[in-house]
Amino acid sequence: MTPHEFVQYLKSKRDYRQQIVHVEHIPARSARYARLKRPLPATLQQALRQTGADKLYVHQAQAINAIRDGQHVIVATSTASGKTLVYNVPVLESIMADYRSRVFYLFPTKALAQDQLRSLRQLTKHTLRKLQFGTYDGDTPRGARRRLRQSASIILTNPDMLHLGILPNHSLWSRFMANLKYIVIDEAHVYRGIFGSQVACTLRRLLRLCRFYGSDPQFIFCSATIANPAEHAQRLCSMPAAVVDEDGSPQAARDFVLWNPPFLDAACTARRSANVEATALFVEMIRHRIRNITFTKARKVAELILLYARNILAEEAPELIPLIKSYRAGYRPELRRDIEQALFSGRILGVTATSALELGVDVGHLDATTLVGYPGTIASTWQRAGRAGRGVREALNILIGLDNPLDQYFMRHPDALFGRSPENALIAPDNIYILLKHLPCAAYEKPLSNKDEKLFGPGFVDAMVQLERDYTLEYHNDRWFFQGIGYPAEKVSLRSVSAGKVAILDESQNYRLMEELEETTAPLRVYPGAIYLHQGESYLITRLDLDMGIAYASPVDVDYYTEPREINEVSILQTRRRKSMPAGEAHFGQLDVTQQVIGYRRLQQFSDTVLSLEPLDMPTQSFKTMGLWFDVPPDINRAVDRHGLDWAGGLHAVEHAAIGMLPLFAMCDRLDIGGLSTPLHPDTGRAQVFIYDAFPGGVGIAEKGFELLLELWRATLTAIEECPCQEGCPSCIQSPKCGNNNEPLDKRAAILILQALLGE
């Protein structure tokens, strides 16, 4: 069944409710080839021919030419465009010319490293058999590690192992680093936010040591299409890079369907659950033997859809149940490898997955992908869509709109999705909170000096002053030395602001470890009373002990799931920038934020009906971050009052909707952003709306919002005005995280406020 035939079949079903609001047909694209400035060595040419890569696409040739000329390079092209050859070819050529050359390949996940290891073996198995390479990560046996350090030309690893295992023990790697020719950073667009900022600091630490040992390696970045590849590469490695973004790879034809769940009521205040719609599509694809991945934005949703699908198939086609699985981070490595291989070999037909399967792990030829909600960025949207239809195989992509402002904006404005340029990837390696973690690591590896300020950026001086004050570093003989016990990298997690983990233990299995969570996200996911899903099974969180880093879970059979509710307070610490707007002023600066989970909602499975609101007394969490805030002048207040509208409800609605629309401009998730609105803020004595980065120190999200504030206001106004509801709904002004239970909210007041702010 072709994608077009499947879409027609869906439209012909009796229960079809006009969910398909747009079908974007993307025609096939022919390959465009180019030649290198000078030919490759005959042995390497032969290896390429044997893998079917006897010709190079335009972007491959451009990038290889630039790398051969000694430039740092970032290649930003589509999924499955052959970026692997961009670095494999010059790397192998370099090693063939000088077998002392050494190379690091960095991948964001172990799975991707294993997948690229297979590609490298395939390329070198006939003609370059003597070449030694291997993965060096937490799964590598101790004996193999020493052999790889001493004799491997290429080490495939991840930033976490580089940070935790390699750099603190650099004396064992002295010969490798002295001959380091290239540092390859694959999937560079993944390195954004807190994770990307910390990876950038880790790469600076690596560069310090390379220069100490006498090498000056070249960087090769491969990325999905992003708006700022040159800026992103320079922020990651601290040096300018040539951009190659002219994609010459072929692309199969595909139909991209926008699927909007139908309204449940005449007032248009609630839509049918996107999870229910996704389950129905997933089951239909499995019935028709359409190999697919259904991508979700949260672990819980991936597990929910698998659970729903199993329930349906148990009654209608039980023989298909073994052909579906879920896949996400947190699973044991052997389980993830088994699922990857089963999907690749065709032993399973469908997987419900988080972004863990978004990256370039080869899972064979898929027919379709379903995206349950806009992933948050254009780059991620096309990454996920590109998992289907690789080569010349036609593909089907379905985006199911969630009940939030941004998803519904795309449902009504398809051109904003398909005609939109990608977002900016944002990182802040000079964030003082991140430098406070990485400068002690750098000092442990090699004492710091004033020369390192240029490498680590403007936050260096303030961070060093603080590290001296708390006796982490000691200054003598013009250098700073680490003073702590052990090595500091073991206390720093690259993937979170905190280093701590929370273990989830199964009380019914003698407290067996199920999985681990970041300490910073635990209060929002494993609070007492939460329903936690693991491999399609429901667990009730009975107790959370943050001091011990343990959440206790007990298996339960329930027909509901839970969502947390939180409240916050914001204080202004410092104004860094301000600008005049059509009405009032906008500001950007440092904020102090206090957050607290105050309860949770119990929601019915399938229908999403709210069953109850349960209170909680959780500890508060405080942090300093960067944010924007804007004045809403008194004359707008008076206009709202004249119309008999709710002033506080209008401000609250503007805050919710603007937070929902900010990911349209910055590469982030809605949960990466926080906000507050108030008719009278104690620090200013004025009505204020705040939007801030939900990370200590900030990573540039709110700053991008400040720069594009007029565009953000316009998009927010459009999203609210065009929503068909009368009083406000999740598609425009309601927020699922609101600790005030979305009260007060006033849709008409929000429209009036935004029009006035824009000077309309």
pLDDT tens-place string over residues 209-262: 999 999 999 999 999 888 899 999 999 999 999 999 999 999 889 999 999 999
Residues 590 and 688 in one domain: yes
Q: What is the pLDDT at residue 254?
A: 94
Alpha carbon of 269 to those of 22, 264, 750, 753: distances in Å?
22, 8, 17, 22
Residue 426 lies in a domain: no
Checking if the pLDDT of 550 tops 70, the result is: yes
Highest-confidence range of 265-274, 351-360, 579-588, by mean pLDDT? Answer: 579-588
Checking if the pLDDT of 390 tops 80, the result is: no
- Identify the band that residue 499 occupies on the pLDDT scale cut at 50, 70 and 90: low
- Counts of helices then strands in the chain (DSSP H, E): 25, 29
Residues 462 and 506 in one domain: no
Is the CB of residue 482 less than 8 Å from the CB of residue 443? Answer: yes
CA distance 82 to 67: 16
- Identify the band that residue 359 occupies on the pLDDT scale cut at 50, 70 and 90: low
Sign of torsion over alpha carbons 18, 21, 22, 23:
negative
Least confident of 31-40, 121-130, 171-180, 581-590: 121-130
Position with higher pLDDT, 68 vs 227: 68
Q: What is the pLDDT at residue 361?
A: 64
Checking if the pLDDT of 329 tops 70, the result is: no
Q: What is the pLDDT at residue 694?
A: 85
Point out the domain boundary residue: 558, 583, 602. 558
Position with higher pLDDT, 664 vs 317: 317
Point out the domain boundary residue: 217, 244, 271. 244
Q: What is the pLDDT at residue 48?
A: 93
Checking if the pLDDT of 722 tops 90, the result is: yes
Residues 439 and 588 in one domain: no
Checking if the pLDDT of 298 tops 90, the result is: no
Alpha carbon of 707 to those of 575, 580, 627, 629: distances in Å?
15, 12, 12, 12
Residue 279 lies in a domain: yes
Q: What is the pLDDT at residue 538?
A: 84
Section 489-506 average pLDDT: 82
Residues 291 and 353 in one domain: yes
Enter the tokens of residue 449: 């000096």
Q: What is the pLDDT at residue 656?
A: 96
Least confident of 196-200, 251-255, 532-536, 558-562: 532-536
Residue 689 lies in a domain: yes
Is the CB of residue 366 less than 8 Å from the CB of residue 346? Answer: no
The type of residue at 703 is E
CA dihedral 286, 333, 389, 34 (to 10 degrees): -170
Q: What is the pLDDT at residue 631?
A: 94
Point out the domain boundary residue: 244, 270, 286. 244
Section 598-625 average pLDDT: 88
pLDDT tens-place string over residues 250-290: 988 999 999 999 998 888 888 999 999 999 999 999 999 99
Residue 366 DSSP code: B
Number of domains in the chain: 5
Checking if the pLDDT of 356 tops 80, the result is: no
pLDDT tens-place string over residues 696-707: 888 889 999 999
Residues 116 and 215 in one domain: yes
Checking if the pLDDT of 461 tops 90, the result is: yes
Q: What is the pLDDT at residue 362?
A: 64
Residue 427 lies in a domain: no
Checking if the pLDDT of 596 tops 70, the result is: yes
| pLDDT mean across residues, the chain | 91
Give me the domain span that covers residue 459.
432-491
pLDDT tens-place string over residues 401-427: 998 999 999 999 999 899 877 877 888
Quickly list H helices, 267-424: 274-287, 299-316, 333-345, 378-385, 405-412, 414-418
Alpha carbon of 499 to those of 109, 275, 520: distances in Å?
18, 33, 9
Q: What is the pLDDT at residue 423?
A: 78
738, β-bridge pairs: 566
Enter the tokens of residue 148: 């790889």
Checking if the pLDDT of 75 tops 70, the result is: yes
Residues 170 and 217 in one domain: yes
Place of tokens 């869509």: 385
Q: What is the CA radius of gyration of the chain?
A: 26
Residue 425 lies in a domain: no
Residues 65 and 131 in one domain: yes
Bond preceding residue 744 cis, omega within 30 of 0 = yes
Residue 424 lies in a domain: no
Residue 546 lies in a domain: yes
Residues 312 and 349 in one domain: yes
Least confident of 80-94, 192-206, 515-529: 515-529
Is the CB of residue 535 less than 8 Å from the CB of residue 326? Answer: yes
Q: What is the pLDDT at residue 71?
A: 98
Residue 691 lies in a domain: yes
Is the CB of residue 716 less than 8 Å from the CB of residue 654? Answer: yes
Residues 703 and 664 in one domain: yes
SS3 352: strand
Residues 257 and 404 in one domain: yes
Checking if the pLDDT of 363 tops 70, the result is: no
- Identify the band that residue 735 occupies on the pLDDT scale cut at 50, 70 and 90: confident
SS3 110: helix
Residues 455 and 535 in one domain: no
CATH number assigned to the domain comprising residue 368: 3.40.50.300
Regarding beta strands 479-482 and 133-135, do their DSSP bridges make them parallel or antiparallel, or are they unpaired?
unpaired
Spatial CB neighbours of 281, under 8 Å, sequence gap ≥ 6: 10, 259, 294, 370, 398, 400
Residues 681 and 747 in one domain: yes
Q: What is the pLDDT at residue 482?
A: 96
Section 93-108 average pLDDT: 96
Residue by residue, DSSP assigns 59-108 as HHHHHHHHHHTT--EEEE--TTS-HHHHHHHHHHHHHHH-TT-EEEEE-S
The type of residue at 313 is L
Q: What is the pLDDT at residue 246?
A: 94
